Amino acid sequence: MTQRFYVTTPIYYVNSSPHVGTAYTTVVADALARFHALRGERTFFLTGTDEHGLKLEREAQRKAMSPQAFVDEMSERFRDLWPKLLCRPDDFIRTTERRHEEGVQRAWQRCVDSGDIYLGSYEGLYCVACEDHKTEKELLEGNLCPVHGRPVERVTEQSYFFKLSAYGDRLLEFYKRNPTFVRPETRLNEVVSFVEGGLRDLSISRTSFSWGIPVPGDPKHVMYVWFDALFNYLTALAGTEREGALWPPDVQLVGKDILRFHAVYWPAFLMSAGYADDKLPRTIWSHGWLLTDGQKLSKSREGPSHGRGTTDPVRVADAVGADVLRYFLLREVSLGQDGEWSVPSLVSRARSDLAETVGNLLNRALPFAKHFDGRVPHAPAETLSDADRALEALAATAARDAAAAWAEPAPHRALEATIELARAGNRYFDESAPWRLAKAGDLARLAAVVSHVLELVRVVSVMLWPATPSKSDAIRAQLGLDPLAPRVDADLWPLAWGGLAAHTALAPGQPVFAKFDAQQQAQIFKELDVTTEETKPEAPAKAPKAAKPAEAKPAEAPPGPLTYEQLMATVDLRLAKVLAAERIPRKDKLLKLSVDLGEAAGPRTIIAGIALAYAPEALVGKQVIVVANLPPRDFGGGLVSHGMLLAAGPSDGLSLATFEKDHAPGTRVK
RNA sequence: GCCGAUGUAGCUCAGUUGGUUAGAGCAGGGGAAUCAUAAUCCCAAGGUCGUCAGUUCAACUCUGACCGUCGGCACCA
């Protein structure tokens, strides 16, 4: 029976553009699919976009677009990205597609039929003045809002609930029988302890917005994010031949931040919808994050970061090539663990592994073909030496090891084994010294050596293909071979020696891999905003991060034209002097300030989230700018802020706005 | 503060079920070679495996505490 391999990435929320972290997950999925395809399996690689929810509804509103038009545009950014990274998903599902909406509604109905969905209500405490929900413990004596001192109201909102609480035991049993359901193993432990802690029913519908999939039979409700999103993995196949042939997924890649949804909610939903244990996903693979200087990549850290270069995958792929980017992501990061993202280390990795090891091996072997009419020499078995045989054996071992690693999946180890084989090829080449054989006129031995090296390069080109498909094919072209074209039931993995036939016409060409010499490297660093020693200003140590040449994104809708009068009527900015500042126990980011605004009522208390950037002592006496006409804001624990300080920057490198000269507290900013 | 990770050569990381001199790549040092995009190959050097206790005949590998770093949450906008 034909093996099959179904791999998924999360569907990406279209609220933001893809960054290198998003690209990472997709590249891994693509590489796994390519590996399994090479083995002759029927593969299916699914990705897509998640397009519902209040956030997107609002974002569209702000841009004066219909939600559909907005998500259409955003989804394109993802769809267009993947080919640039040589990713070839077999399908791209959008949660706003009809097939998905219908599929999810069917799934919902099946959960209803199982008795697992019921209509309930959220009960909450609500302060009309704050327009916000409160929790019991925030309230002052007598159920008063701590901000306004007014009584809060008890409000209820209808919501459908999923009886997750009923699935705890079944889930635990399932984990026990399928210890590789969640990987790496430490993540399974986390999931198990979460479930053991008891599960609460999930609220899975909302009436407070409409941009979502209507609940069957009750269209006031739209489905809440996870119920909608998780089923994409199923709806992409539903109603087609694929469902029977491919379900369930073999590997579902997820970031560790969304593991819980995939490892707990998702199987519970499926169980409820009538899927037996053997029809549940085989493995939820929780991969790590890419870090820059130990920080998670995120939207707020886009652009140059600490001199390590951009995190925009398109710019990187344009500068160094998609193959190289893919190779780096797969080789440098150990799947399941966090990895460092850095353009300089990408360049150095590409140079030493790809150009100087693999590319070089090809380049140094090809010139010898001139002794054989430009063709792969024929080397009869009796001309082979122990070293030749040893090389063959080594290749077989490496191919086996790499295949096992890819199947694991552990791409970084697979690629390590691959490069190690190419390294051995260089060693063999040195020891065999074909240039001496050529001078001595020993064509029999020369044929053996050259054919062995060329075949080794072929082997390496296949082993590299999941990571660097276009470069692998470029190597193959020089070897006179066709591009790799996986077929179902044909195992192309190079377990057997001799795939490169004697007398094949070679086609030497330009070096396959860029060398990234000093000049190229400088060019790349420049393009990708890498700060090198030369370009870095002196004494960079503690200096606040230079205002980066921010590609001023018009992301936040610019406020419409505003007259001066309107502005002054809206925002009341005042100069103020900090009288006192103290840390707040248990609130790492907050400082409690006493600030003089020149008001008769005396100084105000302002809570500001600047503790990571400013020591309290450093603030006393400082002139700051305060938004004076904000309503009081409750920070819990009896802390109420009566104003806001103007500041900008990341929370750990924030700077407060001030003026060059001191003026009387209370002076209005104009 | 709670929860969770992590701490191995200058850098990035491997170290399987505890067992002789702890591994690789990169960088740096020395040498060989000259077929190759000055690429390659060899050699040497470099680590009290975060700290302190404990279990054991034996711990980088197990247990505990502590320290450092990071992430999530809380809190923040």
Residue A528 lies inside a defined structural domain of this protein: no
Q: How big is the CA angle at A285 (ends A257 and A167), to the nearest 5 degrees?
A: 75
Nucleotide whose C1' lies closest to the alpha carbon of residue A647: B77
Residues A587 and A490 both lie in one domain:
no
Residues A360 and A471 both lie in one domain:
yes
pLDDT at A35 over 70: yes
Nucleotide whose C1' lies closest to the alpha carbon of residue A339: B12
pLDDT at A344 over 90: no
Q: Which residue is nearest to nucleotide B36 (CA to C1')?
A: A364
In the structure, how far is the CA atom of residue A398 from the C1' atom of nucleotide B61, in angstroms? Answer: 27
Residues A352 and A264 both lie in one domain:
no
Q: What is residue A544's predicted lDDT score, i.e. its pLDDT?
A: 25
Which ranges in A528-590 belong to alpha helices (H)? 564-570
Residues A354 and A242 both lie in one domain:
no
Give the number of other Cβ atoms within 10 Å of residue A197's Cβ: 9
pLDDT in tens, A208-265: 778 899 999 999 999 987 899 999 999 999 888 899 999 899 999 988 778 888 989 9
Q: Which residue is nearest to nucleotide B40 (CA to C1')?
A: A426
Q: Give the ipTM.
A: 0.84
In the structure, how far is the CA atom of residue A340 from the C1' atom of nucleotide B25, in angstroms? Answer: 16
**Among A495, A515, A535, where does a domain finish?**
A515
Q: What is residue A530's predicted lDDT score, i.e. its pLDDT?
A: 73
Residues A229 and A151 both lie in one domain:
yes
Nucleotide whose C1' lies closest to the alpha carbon of residue A352: B26
**Among A267, A287, A307, where does a domain finish?**
A287
Nucleotide whose C1' lies closest to the alpha carbon of residue A611: B76
Residues A601 and A479 both lie in one domain:
no
Domain with residue A355: its CATH number is 1.10.730.10
Q: Which residue is nearest to nucleotide B70 (CA to C1')?
A: A294
Residues A510 and A580 both lie in one domain:
no
Residues A224 and A141 both lie in one domain:
yes
Nucleotide whose C1' lies closest to the alpha carbon of residue A361: B36
Q: What is residue A569's predicted lDDT score, i.e. its pLDDT?
A: 59
Chain B bases near protein Cβ (<7 Å): 1, 4-6, 11-14, 24-27, 33-37, 39-42, 69-72, 74-77
Provide mean pLDDT across the span A517-521: 84
pLDDT in tens, A408-453: 888 888 898 899 999 999 999 999 999 999 999 999 999 999 999 9
Q: Which residue is nearest to nucleotide B42 (CA to C1')?
A: A427
Q: What is residue A9's predicted lDDT score, i.e. its pLDDT?
A: 92
Per DSSP, the three-state class of A364 is: helix
**Among A287, A311, A329, where does a domain finish?**
A287
Residue A309 lies inside a defined structural domain of this protein: no
pLDDT at A324 over 70: yes
For A103-136, b/e burial (b = at least 16 CB within 10 A) is bbbbbbebbbeeebbeeeeeeebbbeebeeebee
DSSP A303: S
The mean pLDDT of chain A is: 81
Q: Which residue is nearest to nucleotide B71 (CA to C1')?
A: A296
In the structure, how far is the CA atom of residue A291 from the C1' atom of nucleotide B2, in angstroms? Answer: 24
Q: For chain A, how big is the Rg over CA atoms in Å?
A: 31
In the structure, how far is the CA atom of residue A300 from the C1' atom of nucleotide B13, in angstroms? Answer: 28
Smallest CA-to-CA distance from A162 within A292, A266, A88 is with A266
In the structure, how far is the CA atom of residue A338 from the C1' atom of nucleotide B65, in angstroms? Answer: 27
pLDDT confidence band for A667 (50 / 70 / 90): confident
In the structure, how far is the CA atom of residue A345 from the C1' atom of nucleotide B12, in angstroms? Answer: 9
pLDDT confidence band for A644 (50 / 70 / 90): confident
Q: What is residue A209's predicted lDDT score, i.e. its pLDDT?
A: 79
**CA dist list (Å): A72 to A15, A65, A66, A655:** 12, 11, 10, 38
Residues A45 and A167 both lie in one domain:
yes
In the structure, how far is the CA atom of residue A7 from the C1' atom of nucleotide B26, in angstroms? Answer: 33
Q: How far apart are CA A285 and CA A181, in angstroms?
A: 8
Residue A78 lies inside a defined structural domain of this protein: yes
Classify burial at A193, counting beta carbons within 10 Å of its beta carbon; exposed 0-12, middle 13-18, buried 19 or more.
Answer: exposed
In the structure, how far is the CA atom of residue A199 from the C1' atom of nucleotide B72, in angstroms? Answer: 19
In the structure, how far is the CA atom of residue A353 from the C1' atom of nucleotide B42, in angstroms? Answer: 19
Q: What are the phi and psi torsion angles at A94 (to 5°)? A: -120, 135
Q: How far apart are CA A61 and CA A580, in angstroms?
A: 42
**CA dist list (Å): A510 to A97, A287, A362, A370, A468:** 45, 37, 11, 17, 17
Q: Which residue is nearest to nucleotide B33 (CA to C1')?
A: A430
Lowest mean pLDDT among A14-23, A374-383, A528-537, A618-627: A528-537
Q: What is residue A631's predicted lDDT score, i.e. its pLDDT?
A: 58
Residues A214 and A70 both lie in one domain:
yes
In the structure, how far is the CA atom of residue A340 from the C1' atom of nucleotide B41, in angstroms? Answer: 31
A95: which 2 tokens?
């949660």
Residue A330 lies inside a defined structural domain of this protein: no
Domain with residue A271: its CATH number is 3.40.50.620
Q: Which residue is nearest to nucleotide B11 (CA to C1')?
A: A345
Q: What is residue A557's predicted lDDT score, i.e. its pLDDT?
A: 26
Residues A177 and A250 both lie in one domain:
yes
**Nearby residues of A605 by Cβ (< 8 Å), 6 or more positions away:** A592, A593, A594, A595, A640, A641, A642
Residue A570 lies inside a defined structural domain of this protein: yes
**Nearby residues of A350 by Cβ (< 8 Å), 6 or more positions away:** A320, A324, A327, A328, A513, A514, A516
Give the number of other Cβ atoms within 10 Å of residue A201's Cβ: 16
Lowest mean pLDDT among A266-275, A314-323, A429-438, A594-603: A594-603
Provide mean pLDDT across the span A76-102: 94
Percentages helix, strand, coil for chain A (3-state, rounded to 5) are: 45, 20, 40
Residue A337 lies inside a defined structural domain of this protein: no
Q: Which residue is nearest to nucleotide B73 (CA to C1')?
A: A257
Q: What is residue A190's predicted lDDT score, i.e. its pLDDT?
A: 73
Q: How far apart are CA A264 and CA A189, in angstroms?
A: 12
Residues A346 and A267 both lie in one domain:
no
CA A254 to chain centre: 9
Question: Which is more confident, A195 or A148?
Answer: A195
pLDDT in tens, A129-172: 544 555 554 555 556 665 556 666 666 778 899 998 888 888 88
Question: Which is more confident, A200 or A304?
Answer: A200
Q: N- to C-terminal Cα distance for chain A?
A: 77
pLDDT at A174 over 70: yes
Q: Which of A202-211, A286-295, A615-624 has the highest mean pLDDT?
A: A202-211
pLDDT confidence band for A33 (50 / 70 / 90): very high
pLDDT in tens, A362-385: 999 999 999 999 999 999 999 999
Classify burial at A487, counting beta carbons within 10 Å of its beta carbon; exposed 0-12, middle 13-18, buried 19 or more.
Answer: exposed
In the structure, how far is the CA atom of residue A293 from the C1' atom of nucleotide B59, in angstroms? Answer: 32
Residue A318 lies inside a defined structural domain of this protein: no
Instruction: Provide the domain limits for residue A225.
Output: 4-287
Q: What are the phi and psi torsion angles at A12 (to 5°)? A: -90, 135
Compute the CA torsion angle A381, A385, A387, A388 (nearest 10 deg): -20
Domain with residue A639: its CATH number is 2.40.50.140
Q: What is residue A271's predicted lDDT score, i.e. its pLDDT?
A: 94
Q: What is residue A279's predicted lDDT score, i.e. its pLDDT?
A: 94
Give the number of other Cβ atoms within 10 Å of residue A157's Cβ: 15
Q: What is residue A374's predicted lDDT score, i.e. its pLDDT?
A: 95
Lowest mean pLDDT among A63-72, A225-234, A284-293, A515-524: A284-293
Q: What is residue A300's predicted lDDT score, i.e. its pLDDT?
A: 36
In the structure, how far is the CA atom of residue A295 from the C1' atom of nucleotide B72, in angstroms? Answer: 13
Total of domains in chain A: 3
pLDDT in tens, A444-484: 999 999 999 999 999 999 999 999 999 999 999 999 999 99
Residue A293 lies inside a defined structural domain of this protein: no
Smallest CA-to-CA distance from A204 within A151, A163, A239 is with A163
